[in-house]
Amino acid sequence: MLLFTSITLAIAGHLHAIPTTMSQHSQENPIEDSIYVKRQEWHARPPLETKPLSTPVPYVVIHHSYIPPACKNLVECSYAMRAMQSMHIDQNKWWDIGYNFAVGSDGKAYEGRGFTILGAHAKHFNTHSIGICLIGNWNDTLPPSHQLEKTKALIQYGVDQGFIREDYKLVGHRQVRPTECPGQTLYDHISTWPHFDGTLDLATNFVEDEVKPKLIFSH
């Protein structure tokens, strides 16, 4: 049984691309060493259903949560994750929390649907993107720098692991749907990031009723 558990852990570690040395090292610092906080760590409900996401994706879509507000530690951020998941499942009738990932003001990333499962965060873009939510309302204030840095590191990790295209384009939710998300201040900030695609906006992406995407995705 112990052997089986070790093998299972080794396989799980491999899937998440965590070197075995890191698993041993994680005895000292279990949370800081992980790339992101896993679903079981924030006590996620199981998804009702899943569909695989075809990777590498050409887009990363940035969101803010607006509600719940910014969270500053593992307990608060885990609570925020569960609140968003419940809202998305019970009210929106989605299969799971919509985002692929979220990032807290504690500087940690939280696993939503992950890199390999289709998200529900930006209609018409879900099949071609990873959706990352910066937990909090970032209309009037900028997230703390470690929240922004963790977001960049998570994207780079996704590129390194082959889930996100190297020449990916970064957009804010408002560029693909009529919404204020990810908030004016955060949107202004991400528009300075190297992969930001300022050419994409609602006018070019949608016709009339804003439900027909004009954009042709290229792989």
Ligand X SMILES: *[C@@H]1O[C@H](CO)[C@@H](O)[C@H](O)[C@H]1NC(C)=O
Q: What does 88 bind: ligand X, Zn ion, none (CB cut-off 5 to 8 Å by kind)?
A: none
63-85: burial string, b at 16+ Cβ within 10 Å, e else: bbbbebebbeebebbbebbbbbb
180 interacts with, out of ligand X, Zn ion, none, CB within 5 to 8 A per kind: ligand X
Binding site for ligand X (CB under 6 A): 139, 180, 184
Phi, psi of 80 (to 5 degrees): -65, -40
The residues in 59-78 that bind Zn ion, with binding defined as CB under 5 A, are 63
Could you tell which of Zn ion, ligand X, none binds residue 184, using a CB distance below 5 to 8 A set by kind? ligand X
Place of tokens 């890191």: 22
Q: Where is 206: in which H helix or E strand?
A: strand 206-207
Compute the distance between CA of residue 186 and CA of residue 135 in angstroms, rounded to an integer: 11
| Residue 141 or 156 having the CB closest to ligand X | 141
Stretch 95-124: interaction string toward Zn ion, x if CB under 5 A: ------------------------------
**Binding partner at 63 among ligand X, Zn ion, none, C-beta below 5 to 8 Å by kind:** Zn ion
Tell me the closest approach of the beta carbon of residue 134 to ligand X, in angstroms. 15
Closer residue to ligand X, CB minimum distance, 63 or 169: 63
Nearer to ligand X, 180 or 201 (CB): 180
State the greatest distance between any 2 C-alpha atoms of the chain, in Å, as a whole number.
Answer: 61
Residue nearer to Zn ion on the CB measure, 164 or 181: 181
User: Of 90, 87, 91, 20, nearest to 102 (Cα)?
Assistant: 87
Contact 69, 90 (CB under 8 A): no
Provide the minimum distance between the beta carbon of 202 and Zn ion in the complex, in angstroms, as a whole number.
Answer: 13
Give the three-state DSSP class for 204: helix
CA distance 55 to 147: 25
By the rule CB under 5 A, 174 interacts with Zn ion? no
Residue nearest to ligand X (CB): 139
Which residue ranges make up the site for Zn ion (CB under 5 A)? 63, 173, 181
